[in-house]
Amino acid sequence: MRALCRWMTVAVLLSLAACASQDSEREFRLESGEAVRFLGNVDDERFIDGRAAYLSSNSKTVFDGRFDDKGYPHSGHLAQTLLGEGSELYSLQLIGEFTFDQQNLLIDFLGDFTLVDSQGRVVAEGKNSRWQAPYNKAHPYLSPGNFGLDGKNQYRQYRRHIPLAAEKGRLIEIHRPLAGPFLVDSYFWEGQPQGRVNITAENVGGKSYVVERQYHSGGDDSKQYFYYEPGSFSEIELMGACNSMPTLTVPQNILKAFAYDCEKTKFLAVSPLFKAARVEIHLSDLDNSGSVRRLVVKQKDSNAEMNIDPEALYEGELIPEGAVLKTRADKLISYSHFYRGHAVGIGIDGNAESPHYLQSKWPEADQDMPPKSLLDGLKTQYAAQQKILDNLDVSKASASKDKNEPLKKQLLSAYSEDVSKEDDDISGLQASYQRWQHDGTAKILGWWHGADGSLPGLKQLKKDLQKDLEKWWQQSQNLIHKQAALSCAVKGLSLNDADWQCHLKPSKKAENICHQYYGKSTCNKMLKSLTRKITR
């Protein structure tokens, strides 16, 4: 009898163990159609531990690990496939602890993450990171939505921009044109950065520099501001009475700066591209990111002043873009205008027996001439926006947000007009307009939300908006003129502003340089010689 009892006890235990385990993969489906495929241990259709593939998940969510007492992910490895811009797929891997909040239909994560692109390259990673995802409704067979960073986070990002398609869940876009990697330190809420973001980069020697700060505000009027942090990415000696230097960011295999002249405000550098030469980078030829747009190359008996393509420089190529002037012992060797590394337009050759104008064409780079009407349209737009500012009665400013509402609407009306479709044809014109809209809207909302709704505050805002308007207007004219001049230059001609046509004559800049070195009489003869040579 005692043996029979022992046998019955063993049988019951084996039966219970069988009920709490499942060796083969099973599919669990809700009446609404959502399903999950599970391999592992279950107890009365509640997941205990194993691998769950949520079949109805758009992000192909898979969890492998232990589940909580309600069947939700608790501890283990969760993977999601995220869609990027251009249909590229990214894989998000989360390894750590999960906590399901049934009341708010949220699941929180704390642990390590890795984001991998479609070619298996890690583009971002972090330790002790915090993420969060929503549930549509509470049921363990349902997949959580896409995870996004949430709370205080610090992580490593290997690219300036990781183009995830979903608005929420995107990582920080870094504006400073550096190669990375970057350490990002920020607070996130529902996948969006909040407050100040510190971005740190490491140079070749392993030293870390804060290179950019960003400020993000939440809500419907969410705005972003950023600025580049002063600093340098190479060991540079200070020459003179200054304690710091401007930002300089260049590939050191192309340009190696070794000193900064405080008095003359220029960097001194060497380059393997210019043998036995000293390269000078003047402060006026840098922007606030440390991007270089012009070099002066000094050799034993000759100098070259060259405009270059800043973006190409960051990609590891030094390509002339714009004016290039070469001299020897204060005498002109040559003057050329370059477009993407090709000489175009009318240049000057002073290295021959007698100086002459030199025509250069690049037919493959044919550029459309922007219509003169585009300038007229922008002028009308500028006048309308100017009128709104002129009609602004600053005496109506109040410390009350409600009373300032009409003023806010009046100001914002100047920034509501969509960009012209014609602007798409001019490189940088649309971006300039949108940047003007963005900055103006941010300043207006900042004034309205802030405490300084007083008369002095509105007066300062009006001054700032006027300054921004003039800047946009000047930039827009320059961009249109640049495009028109380029359309002539690739044909070996120059733009005539008066009739907006291409003519066989030097540009104003080439003509001024010619006058400087040879005098008007010689330059007139050079022009006659050019026209005779071309028209023969």
> Of 285, 329, 322, which Cα lies nearest the Cα of 307?
322
d(CA 405, CA 395): 14
The pLDDT of residue 65 = 96
Evaluate whether 52 touches 80 at the Cβ level (below 8 Å): no
- Helix (H) or strand (E) holding 460, with range, is helix 455-489
**CB of 301 closer than 8 Å to CB of 331:** no
pLDDT of residue 479: 92
How does pLDDT run across 408-450, given as a tens digit for each residue?
888 888 787 766 655 556 878 888 888 888 788 878 877 777 6
- Positive or negative, the CA dihedral 66, 69, 71, 74 is negative
**In terms of Cα–Cα distance, which of 494, 492, 475 is closest to 484?**
494
DSSP one-letter string for 154-176: EEEESSS---BSSSTTPPPPP-S
> pLDDT: is 237 or 11 the higher one?
237
For 202-209, what is the mean pLDDT? 64
Q: Residue 314: which residues within 8 A CB-CB, separation 6 or more? A: 177, 178, 179, 249, 251, 291
Greater confidence, 448 or 138? Answer: 138
Phi, psi (degrees; rounded to nearest 5) at 419: -70, 145
| 193: preceding bond cis by omega (within 30 degrees) | no
Lowest-pLDDT range of 67-76, 375-384, 403-412, 470-479: 403-412
Nearest to 70 by CA among 139, 145, 21: 139
Residue 109 to residue 117: CA distance in whole angstroms:
21
Cα distance between residue 29 and residue 243, in whole Å: 69
Q: What is the mean predicted confidence (pLDDT) over 300-326?
A: 91
**Using CA atoms, how far apart are residues 369 and 483, in angstroms rounded to an integer?**
7
Residue pLDDT, tens place only, 21-41: 555 789 999 888 889 999 999
Q: Does a cis peptide bond (omega within 30 degrees of 0) precede residue 181?
A: yes
The pLDDT-based confidence of 9 (bands split at 50, 70, 90) is: very low
Count H helices and E strands in the chain, helices first: 8, 26
pTM as predicted: 0.58
Output the six-digit token pair for 216: 């993000």
Q: Which residues have a Cβ under 8 Å from the Cβ of 325 and sit 6 or more positions away? A: 304, 305, 306, 332, 334, 335, 513
- At residue 70, the pLDDT reads 94
Report residue 421: phi and psi, to 5°.
-65, -30
How much is the pLDDT for 296? 97
Calculate what percentage of the chain has a pLDDT beyond 90.
49
Contact 197, 213 (CB under 8 A): yes
> Within 10 Å of residue 69's Cβ, how many Cβ atoms?
9
pLDDT for the residue 22: 52
pLDDT at 219: 55
Does residue 18 carry a pLDDT above 80? no
